């Protein structure tokens, strides 16, 4: 809890398209009501860029594709009491995992050389190293709540948050399905 009694929430995106965060914003005016109960203490959606040591609720979008994703997921797990896996990329790998049937070297070659017309080169600095295989988040850290969908509907995110605020355990399976 924050000093004002609100539930502290941290969010980030791993290997995703940010669409799940856009769905969060699609809660529209309901965000005003939620703001009376939650404090977003770290997120791409707010200015705070330091993940606090102790957070009530962490929300992760995207899959684990590179070293930085792995580090962020472990950091969230260590610092958040409850962790939500948000969206199909987080829950089952979805689009990022489509590279898994191919060798990593072939994927890199295809992306940085074969499909590039101007100055093709494989970056060696400034980008995190790709992992050999893409994994859903629960492949690397335990997850408490799974919210599927690509992206999950804003109503589903609202349901999960309001249930948690009410002190209940949400059952996202009632309001979600994969791919929608």
In the complex, the residues that contact ligand SF4 under the rule CB under 6 A are 16-17, 19-20, 61-62, 87-89, 94-95, 150-151
Between 10 and 150, CB nearer to ligand SF4: 150
Between 6 and 64, CB nearer to ligand SF4: 64
Minimum distance, C-beta of residue 179 to ligand SF4, in the bound complex (Å): 9
Between 78 and 180, CB nearer to ligand SF4: 180
Secondary structure (DSSP) of 29-67:
THHHHHTTTEEEEE-TTSS--S--S-EEEEEEESBEEEH
Minimum distance, C-beta of residue 156 to ligand SF4, in the bound complex (Å): 12
- Measure the CA–CA gap between 32 and 8, rounded to whole angstroms: 15
- Measure the CA–CA gap between 34 and 27, rounded to whole angstroms: 10
Between 44 and 52, CB nearer to ligand SF4: 44
The alpha carbon torsion through 30, 35, 38, 40 (nearest 10 deg) reads 100
Minimum distance, C-beta of residue 111 to ligand SF4, in the bound complex (Å): 17
Q: Are strands 38-42 and 7-13 parallel, antiparallel or unpaired?
A: parallel
Minimum distance, C-beta of residue 119 to ligand SF4, in the bound complex (Å): 29
- The residues, ordered by sequence, that sit 6+ positions from 104 with a Cβ below 8 Å of its Cβ are 130, 132
């Amino acid at each position: 809890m924050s000093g004002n009694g609100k539930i502290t929430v941290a969010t980030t995106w791993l290997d995703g398209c940010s669409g799940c965060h856009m769905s969060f914003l699609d809660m529209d005016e309901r965000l005003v009501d939620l703001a009376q109960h939650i404090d977003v203490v770290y997120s791409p959606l707010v200015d705070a860029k330091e993940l606090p040591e102790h957070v009530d609720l962490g929300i992760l979008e995207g899959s684990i594709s590179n070293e930085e994703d792995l580090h962020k997921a472990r950091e969230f797990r260590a610092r958040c009491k409850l962790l939500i896996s948000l969206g199909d990329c987080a829950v089952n790998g979805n689009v990022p995992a489509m590279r898994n049937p191919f060798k990593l070297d072939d994927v890199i070659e295809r992306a940085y050389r074969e499909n590039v017309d101007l100055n093709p080169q494989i970056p060696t600095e400034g980008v995190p190293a790709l992992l050999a295989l893409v994994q859903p988040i629960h492949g690397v850290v335990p997850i408490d709540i799974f919210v599927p969908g690509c992206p999950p509907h804003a109503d589903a995110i609202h349901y999960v948050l309001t249930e948690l605020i009410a002190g209940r355990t949400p059952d996202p399976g009632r309001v979600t399905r994969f791919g929608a």
